Amino acid sequence: MTPDLARCVAEAYQVALPHRGQGRVADYIPALAKVDPNRFGFALALPDGTVHAAGDADIAFSIQSVSKVFTLALALRRVGSSLWDSVGREPSGSAFNSIVQLESEQGIPRNPLINAGAIATTDRLIDGRAGDAVIDEILDFIRARAGDDGVDIDRDVAASESETGARNRSLGYFMQAFDNLRHPVEAVTGVYFRQCAIAMSCRQLAKAGLFLAMEGRDPLTGEQLIDPHRARRINAIMMLCGHYDNSGEFAFRVGLPGKSGVGGGILCIAPGQGSIAVWSPGLNEAGTSLVGALALEHFAYAAGWSVF
């Protein structure tokens, strides 16, 4: 039986709503700490263009690490499989900003979704270009999918990231010491801080992620954006690494590939079905939205969607 998806969205929202405000809002990037912890949005984008939304689905938030999925897709498109010379594809079992494995693993980060791996991926995406051109490419890609030119960088958040970015710079310098960075650390982190500071709504994010559910094709424009096998592999990496040391728990509870961000957003992909974006700023220990994960768990169960 086909599930009533509008109902599943409404139910998931209602089930998670009483938990709003739980968890901890990220404050290690001061600009993120200003966000209202009671915000909660949910949007499901379907390949026919329908969006089912609930709550604060049209309020822009800082996508943070969710941006790593888009830069991974763009880097694979630009440099192909040679990306895997710079970054691995194994779960790390460590915190998102951990440096420990880099030392014993010759400066090759475990995967593209931890900070070190995302910095290495952005380094490859830059490919000799100016930072502004790379940011324009990322924004153009997202805006075209979201069908909305309003998606932009939150300059306050970007500045705050840079001011407090010693740890990310350290990851960059550490990789540089192992010859695993092709551009100066400041050039790479300059793009990385800005990609993390992209602000968009759940509705825009769900639409922007739809190509990953549709084998790399944007169902709304008909454009084949990345090879189908690459879209599948990005989903595999999201499933195994998308929530750092909480990835197993998320797979267990939700059963769909997802990527969290410390702004409280999660992008979740249901291959062949649709793309879901949730946002609520309170985080669990691993930096995944507590209410967002709860809503996704309920939605996936109600809709009967799982990759397993």
The nearer residue to ligand DON, 192 or 305, going by C-beta atoms, is 192
Place of tokens 């507590």: 290
Q: Does 96 bind ligand DON (CB under 6 A)?
A: yes
37 makes contact with ligand DON (CB under 6 A):
no
- Nearest one of 187, 61, 166 to 115, comparing CA atoms: 166
Decide if residue 261 touches ligand DON (CB under 6 A).
yes
Spot the catalytic one: 98, 160, 244, 247.
Answer: 244
* 68 belongs to the catalytic site: yes
13 is in an annotated binding site: no
Report the residue from 92, 115, 122, 201 that binds ligand DON according to the rule CB under 6 A.
115
User: End-to-end CA distance of the chain, in Å?
Assistant: 18
Q: Which residues contact 132 (CB under 8 A, 6 or more apart)?
A: none
| 262, 278, 280, 291: the active-site residue | 262
Site size toward ligand DON, by CB under 6 A: 12
Between the CA of residue 176 and those of 19, 92, 123, 129, 270, what are the distances in Å?
43, 20, 11, 18, 37
Which among 86, 160, 192, 207 is annotated as catalytic? 192
| 244 is annotated as contributing to ligand binding | yes
Contact map string, positions 133 to 172, toward ligand DON, x by CB under 6 A: ----------------------------x------x----
Q: Could you give the CA distance from residue 23 to residue 283 in angstroms, rounded to a whole number? A: 5
CB 119 within 8 A of CB 175: yes
Q: Which is nearer to ligand DON, 44 or 196 (CB)?
A: 196
CB 268 within 8 A of CB 212: no
- CA separation for the pair 286, 113 (Å, rounded): 13
Token pair belonging to 277 = 């974006």
- Length of the chain, please? 308
* Residue 30 to residue 159: CA distance in whole angstroms: 10
Among 61, 65, 88, 199, binds ligand DON (CB under 6 A): 65
Establish whether 207 is a catalytic residue. Answer: no
**287, 293, 295, 298: which one contacts ligand DON (CB under 6 A)?**
287
The one segment of 16-24, 177-185, 258-266, 291-299 that binds ligand DON by CB under 6 A? 258-266
205: tokens are 């994010």
Q: Which stretch binds ligand DON (CB under 6 A): 122-130, 148-156, 256-264, 299-307?
A: 256-264
Phi and psi for 275 in degrees, rounded to 5?
-130, 140
Q: Which residues lie near ligand DON (CB under 6 A)?
A: 64-65, 96-97, 115, 161, 168, 196, 260-262, 287
Instruction: Give catalytic residue positions.
Output: 65, 68, 192, 244, 262
Residues tagged in the binding site annotation for substrate: 65, 115, 161, 168, 192, 244, 262
